[in-house]
Structure 1
Amino acid sequence: MTAPARSTLFAPATLGPVPLRNRFIRAGTGESMADPAGRIGDEYVALHENLARGGVGLAFTGHIFSHLRGRYGDLQAGLHQDSSIPGFARVTEAVHRRGGRIFAQIAHAGSQSMSFATRPLAPSAVDNVMTGRRVEAATDDEIHEAIDGFRQAARRAVEAGFDGVHLHGANGYLISEFRSPLTNTRDDDWGGTRERRDRFPVEVIRAIRAELPAGMGLTMKVGLADLVDEPGGLTVPDAIEGVRSFVAAGLDGVEVSSNLMSDYVSASIRGYVAVDRRRALEDLLFHRLHKKPEPEAYFLPFVDALRAQVDTTIILVGGMRRVTTMAALVESGRAEFISMARPFIREPDLVQRLAGGQRTAPACVSCNICLMHDEHHALRCWRTPRMNLLRHAKYRFSGGFKGKGSGRKPAAGDR
């Protein structure tokens, strides 16, 4: 295997029109650092500056809501209003100062929205499997309003100095809901056939692309299948045909993931999750893990299927851990870029460590404690420093924990 520092992984590359210093991407991960108005501050800026300082080629922000009706949680950042632009301009300036690049991940949570002041937006009156919320079918005017919300958010991303936009079209959010026959039962211009179900994301992509200058990139996190128990969902062949139309509409590349999910842990993030008090205590005292083996690159079958059918840049996310595995996948042409999230939470300077040979794999053990807390606490690794693990155990034993066990899906993507 190629020595780390000489691997293609660490060589400059281009994503669409955007030059990158290497092929490592920080996957979109909910930072949970915004105020009630969706504005960000010093903590958010520092997080992304540290990632750029640590050598990441490109960072996708955590999902940024494009419209108040699409806000996922109270700590989520937004690009739904012009007053958000100055805060994000500080982020892009800090990242560029450190030699990095950053895309704004724009999203609409759809029926997973936690904005109880308004009715959740969904293509059809199908209760959300994650939240149990009852929804009504969106009107034609509401659909066009959502599309314009994405467009306006992209305009603000341009003004804030981002290098591109990363559209969130996976993990059960609004775009996923339009794409799945399980959640889109319409028989009008927005549903009824694969082409009409994909009309919403196609229109969103076109609207965003129209706002971006020539030097900015446009990528999308795309679900390649519904990973749910119920039959009749989005299939891989139909999903691939959708991606073909998305690329034709203006995408520079896709990050492959899942579409609808009934079980977030097994469908998307995988790995160990500390779910009871005994495990919390053992974590605290012994750093003991109860892990079942999980494969690296668990979305690789989706990637291979897409590669065989559609000519586009592919970003591989999902349990990437060993540098030898990453290098083999990139150098063989199965993927152009490697995307990770959890490892960068623990080690923002991971790319430098891998390039220098100090690491052959991240220190992250995929305990997923970071996901358990990200609805109510700013993003951090809860295993280090030791005080964070003590706080985690205290939350679990005091009964004050309101994270993953509450049935809410974590705000982060595939890790």
Structure 2
Amino acid sequence: MKLFEPLTLRNITLRNRIVMSPMCMHSALSGGFVSDFHLVHYGARALGGVGLVFFETLATLENGMIGPGDLGIWSDEHIDGLKRLVQVVQKMGAKAGAQIGHAGRLEGTQVHTAIAPSAIAFSENTQVPHELTNEEILNIVQSFKAAAKRARLAGFDILEIHTAHGYLLNEFLSPLANKRTDTWGGSHENRYRIVRYILDEVRQEWDGPLFVRISSTDYAHGGNTPEDFVIYGQWMKEQGVDLIDCSSGGIAPAKVDSFPGYQVTAATLLREQLDIMTGAVGLIETGDLAADIIGNNRADLVFIGRAILRDPFWPRTAADELRVSITVPDQYTRYGAWWLNNQPRPTPALPQTTAE
């Protein structure tokens, strides 16, 4: 079954098409450092059989955390902890993915002044962000380049640029949040400019598989739609992006009619229109749905979120549901410990009797 077949992206081969989606855990040590929680949490999902484990968004700057306790990648001091976490995931048979991003006006620690392309608040209950200057924008670009270098030094297999969910790069892409009249706003080309610069700079430090997560629709009048991302996606492809990870929403308060696989249509559209690999995400909770998406070429990877928080062994659960045989850790088989030690299966001891 295609869902459980390997997939090669550049120099990296995933053991199957199942990905743990990036989800904030807010469990880092002070300063954005890896904690024991992360080792257990991400290690368990790797042991559970996914092909690729994405950690939560790694903030490229300290003022870019989505919320308290987020992991950071804005300092060289973060490298050692991330490297240890990457090695745990890899030893369990999965590949490790780094999603790097900046929260922009949705900075969630309430410690820093929020920043954005324009001084427009997300809602009436959130702060009005500082409008970035040209120099500050160029510094943001360099922060992504530096983060890509640190991800490489930490040993990550795959890198993803976060341009979705209402965070900084999504704010630049969306006409709802970007009202600039200079070279960073207005046309599609201008709104995309910061992403273009970042991808060019990142590729100087990262030659492995490169993903971009997008919000394929803003769910609001005047906002981006999947057709806008046919334009953006073509530029991403030209810049060496290997896969577009298709999520949606987040740029403005909106009521979303969500249902299993509700974002798959965008992944299929970009895959067909651009001849680029795509990832599908959003309430993909059953093996049947995941197998249908991959088997019918609607996307190349399925990103599993909340379902894999509930069940670290979701791939095995899906395989059982689909009646597919997959490899499981030897330790979880009846005589796994003996097999691991290359020992013959033990002969059970006979009951001892005592003569009367």
TM-score, normalised by the number of residues in structure 1: 0.74
Q: 1:217 aligns with which of 200, 205, 209?
A: 209
CA RMSD of aligned residues (A): 1.9
One-letter identity of the residue aligned with 1:236: P
Give the Cα separation in 2 of the matches to 1:313 and 1:99.
23
Q: 2:310 aligns with which of 346, 352, 357?
A: 346
Deviation at 1:147, TM superposition (A): 0.8
- Percent identity of paired positions between Structure 1 and Structure 2: 30
User: Is 2:295 the counterpart of 1:331?
Assistant: yes
> Which stretch has the larger CA shift, 111-120 or 312-321?
111-120
**Kept after mapping to 2: 8 A contact 1:222/1:259:** no
CA deviation vs aligned residue, 1:143-170 (integer Å, no higher than 9, x gap)? 0111111111111111111102111111
Q: 1:226 aligns with which of 218, 221, 243?
A: 218
One-letter identity of the residue aligned with 2:268: D
SS of residue paired to 2:127: coil
Higher Rg of the two aligned structures: 2
**Kept after mapping to 2: 8 A contact 1:169/1:223:** yes
CA deviation vs aligned residue, 1:296-332 (integer Å, no higher than 9, x gap)? 1101222232233211111110111222222122111
CA deviation vs aligned residue, 1:326-373 (integer Å, no higher than 9, x gap)? 21221111111111111111111111232244989xxxxxxxxxxxxx
User: Is 2:305 the counterpart of 1:311?
Assistant: no
Aligned to 2:147: 153
SS of residue paired to 1:90: helix
Give the Cα separation in 1 of the matches to 2:185 and 2:309.
39
SS of residue paired to 1:165: strand
Aligned to 1:407: none
One-letter identity of the residue aligned with 1:225: T
Aligned to 1:246: 236
One-letter identity of the residue aligned with 1:60: F
Aligned to 1:84: 78
Q: 2:199 aligns with which of 205, 211, 222?
A: 205
SS of residue paired to 2:69: coil
User: Is 2:105 the counterpart of 1:111?
Assistant: yes
- Structure 1 residues 165, 352: closer, same or farther in 2, change over 3 A? same
TM-score, normalised by the number of residues in structure 2: 0.86
Aligned to 2:227: 237
Deviation at 1:136, TM superposition (A): 2.8
**Kept after mapping to 2: 8 A contact 1:353/1:359:** no
Aligned length: 324
Unaligned runs of 5+ in 1: 1-6, 271-293, 361-415
Give the Cα separation in 2 of the matches to 1:167 and 1:23.
20
> Which stretch has the larger CA shift, 7-16 or 156-165?
7-16
CA deviation vs aligned residue, 1:177-231 (integer Å, no higher than 9, x gap)? 0001111111111111111101111111221121114xx2110111112123xx2
**Kept after mapping to 2: 8 A contact 1:226/1:234:** yes
User: Is 2:265 the counterpart of 1:301?
Assistant: yes
SS of residue paired to 1:298: coil
Aligned to 1:162: 156
